[in-house]
Amino acid sequence: MKYLATAVLIFALLGAQTAIASDYDSTVSNFRNAGTGEFIDESYGYAVFPTIGKGGIGIGGAHGKGGVFVGGKQVGNTKMSQITYGLQLGGQAYSQIIFFKDKRAFDDFASGNFEFGAQATAVALTAGAQAEVSSGGGGSASAGTDARLSNVADREYDDRSGMAVFTIAKGGLMYEATIGGQKFSYDAL
């Protein structure tokens, strides 16, 4: 019964997600308003996910669809999937953006089967200009897309991957202490 409830919760959260150009524009604008404008302007490119749904009861999952941009133009589509195991309960929705420092980082992501390990971190942009580091790009951020973060400029690209990840919580409540990485697929346009 527990697994059936988990499956129902996950499918309800993940439902039919179709990202369109206006979703990408408004999501990028939200991240720019939250203080990531320098990353948007100076990165080689980025992958943006307007909505990622995440849920779990013991076993959980997350899924989202997004667009990949280089030089301000969409060059591909991407999907993110995540399976998590551990102490967790609830569901949440969030936006995520992954910045590519250079062509090498973009090429790694665009290889078609990129994965962040459980140790990967994301800065969660939250209301009240607070940042929080979390595993796998999730985060326990409070809802709100009007976030400002004063120390975003202090955030640097990861030395190994050449990527920087930020999230903005859109809603929901989730308690978790989980292990699991995000896996990405990429399809060029």
- Is the pLDDT score of 124 beyond 80? no
Cα–Cα distance, 6 to 83 (Å, whole number): 12
How far apart CA 16 and CA 7 sit, in angstroms, is 15
User: What is the predicted pLDDT for the residue at 161?
Assistant: 86
The residue to which tokens 């524009």 are assigned: 25
Query: According to the model, what pLDDT value does residue 16 have?
Result: 40
Structure confidence by residue, pLDDT tens digits, 129-158: 333 333 333 333 333 333 344 445 556 888
Q: Which domain holds residue 14?
A: 2-188
Measured CA to CA in angstroms, residue 141 lies from 61, 69, 170, 177 at distances of 17, 25, 9, 14
Is the pLDDT score of 118 beyond 50?
yes
Q: Tell me how crowded residue 173 is: count the other CB atoms within 10 A of its CB.
A: 12
Domain count of the chain? 1
120: confidence class by pLDDT, cuts 50, 70, 90? low
Closest by CA to 172, choosing from 95, 80, 119, is 95
Range from 42-46, 115-119, 145-149, 168-172 carrying the lowest mean pLDDT: 145-149
Per the listing, tokens 């994301």 go with 122
Alpha-carbon separation of residue 17 from 42, 65, 155 (angstroms): 29, 7, 30
Q: Mean pLDDT score of the chain, rounded to an integer?
A: 76
Measure the CA–CA gap between 54 and 20, rounded to whole angstroms.
Answer: 20
Is the pLDDT confidence value at 40 over 90?
yes
